[in-house]
């Protein structure tokens, strides 16, 4: 158990972060249903009333936690700002950063938590999706739309294209790790997965690849 005795009088931002840290720890230990706002308040070192001043319900606390932990905007923005000028080079950058993020131990544990609880609490799945995967897909699809407009890619559904690409990057790695069937893949294995995804993606959507209907 992580103790937070040194957080007796932090500023509001620090207190909020402390609450989120404790909530994540408790959700992972006990599950969403069993996690109690009273226990979270006690572990942080304050009253339940103070906790409700920050988060009026367990649902809003979970939503804030998902936003803070998914950090989808952070990895996407950093990747797109530093991505290669060439489309395939940029896709290698995007895929590599995405796979590092998606296969990280914290994100995998959040996936397991959401899967375990979303049957009884469907809103948790929606909260997780809106806070993480949806935002990532929107940012990547926006970048793809720009490349389509510049004539570097072909396609009429950037959101679908983004989803396909990100799914291909995870293919064969994500589920095995999610189910603890395999150990975290090596950097070389992740790079090979991303390279294969880029190759397939460019064959389908590259400006020099087959246009819609030509391969039918």
- Which residues lie closer than 8 Å to 210 by C-beta, 6 or more apart? 204
The boundaries of the domain holding residue 199 are: 71-205
pLDDT digits (tens, 9 = 90+) for 132-156: 889 889 999 999 999 999 999 999 9
Classify residue 32 as left (phi > 0), alpha (psi -120 to 50) or beta. alpha
pLDDT-derived band at 187 (thresholds 50, 70, 90) equals very high
How far apart CA 179 and CA 209 sit, in angstroms, is 36
198-212: pLDDT as tens digits:
999 999 999 975 544
Q: Are residues 130 and 194 both part of a single domain? A: yes
| Predicted confidence band of residue 80 (pLDDT cuts 50, 70, 90) | confident
Query: What is the rounded average pLDDT of the residues 9-14?
Result: 70
**Burial of 40: CB neighbours in 10 Å, binned 0-12, 13-18, 19+:** buried
On whether residue 63 sits in a domain, the answer given is no
152 and 76: one domain?
yes
**Which CATH number fits the domain that encloses residue 102?**
1.10.357.10
- Same domain membership, residue 141 and residue 40: no
Number of domains in the chain: 2
Gyration radius from the chain CA atoms: 20
64 is a domain residue: no
Give the confidence band of 12 by pLDDT, cuts at 50, 70, 90.
Answer: confident
Residues 141 and 200 in one domain: yes
Structure tokens at 99: 């796979």
Distance, in Å, from the CA atom of 26 to the CA atom of 197, rounded to the nearest integer, reads 37
Domain contains 147:
yes
Q: Residue 214: inside a domain, yes or no?
A: no
Is residue 213 domain-resident?
Answer: no
Pair (79, 31) in one structural domain: no
pLDDT band for position 74 (cuts 50, 70, 90):
low
Q: Which of the pair, 77 or 42, is modelled with greater confidence?
A: 42
pTM here is 0.80
Which is it for the CA torsion 175, 170, 111, 43, positive or negative? Answer: positive
Distances (CA, A) of 50 to 37, 74, 142: 11, 30, 40
137 and 187, same domain (yes or no): yes
Asked if residue 216 belongs to a domain, the reply is no
> Any idea what DSSP says for residue 183?
P
Residue 35 sits in the same domain as residue 82: no
129 and 196 in a single domain? The answer is yes
In this structure, the answer to whether residues 89 and 38 fall within a common structural domain is: no
CATH code of 48's domain: 1.10.10.60
Does 44 share its domain with 133?
A: no
Q: Mind listing the pLDDT tens digit for each residue in 157-172?
A: 999 999 999 999 999 9
Please say if the pLDDT value at position 3 is more than 50: no
State residue 47's pLDDT score: 86
Q: Is there a domain that residue 211 lies in?
A: no
Indicate whether 212 belongs to any domain: no
- Average pLDDT of the chain is 86
Q: What share of the chain is helix, strand, coil (3-state, %, to 5)?
A: 70, 0, 30
Q: Are residues 107 and 44 in the same domain?
A: no
Are 35 and 84 contained in the same domain? no
Which among 82, 74, 67 has a CA at the least distance from the CA of 100? 74
């Amino acid at each position: 158990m992580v103790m937070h005795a040194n957080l007796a009088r932090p500023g509001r931002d620090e207190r909020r972060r402390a609450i989120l840290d404790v909530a994540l720890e408790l959700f992972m230990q006990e599950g969403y249903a069993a996690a109690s706002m009273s226990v979270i308040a006690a572990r942080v070192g304050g009253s339940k009333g103070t906790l409700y001043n920050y988060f009026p319900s367990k649902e809003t606390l979970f939503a804030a936690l998902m936003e803070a932990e998914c950090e989808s905007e952070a990895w996407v923005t950093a990747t797109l700002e530093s991505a290669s000028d060439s489309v395939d080079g940029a896709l290698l950058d995007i895929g590599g950063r995405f796979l590092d993020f998606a296969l990280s131990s914290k994100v995998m544990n959040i996936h397991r938590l959401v899967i375990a609880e979303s049957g009884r609490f469907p809103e948790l799945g929606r909260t997780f999706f809106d806070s993480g995967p949806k935002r990532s897909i929107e940012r990547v699809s926006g970048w793809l739309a720009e490349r389509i407009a510049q004539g570097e890619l072909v396609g009429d559904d950037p959101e679908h294209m983004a989803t396909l690409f990100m799914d291909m990057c995870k293919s064969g790695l994500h589920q095995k790790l999610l189910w603890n069937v395999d150990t975290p893949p090596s950097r070389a294995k992740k790079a090979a997965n991303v390279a294969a995804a880029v190759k397939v993606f460019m064959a389908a959507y590259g400006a020099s690849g087959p246009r819609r209907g030509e391969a039918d």
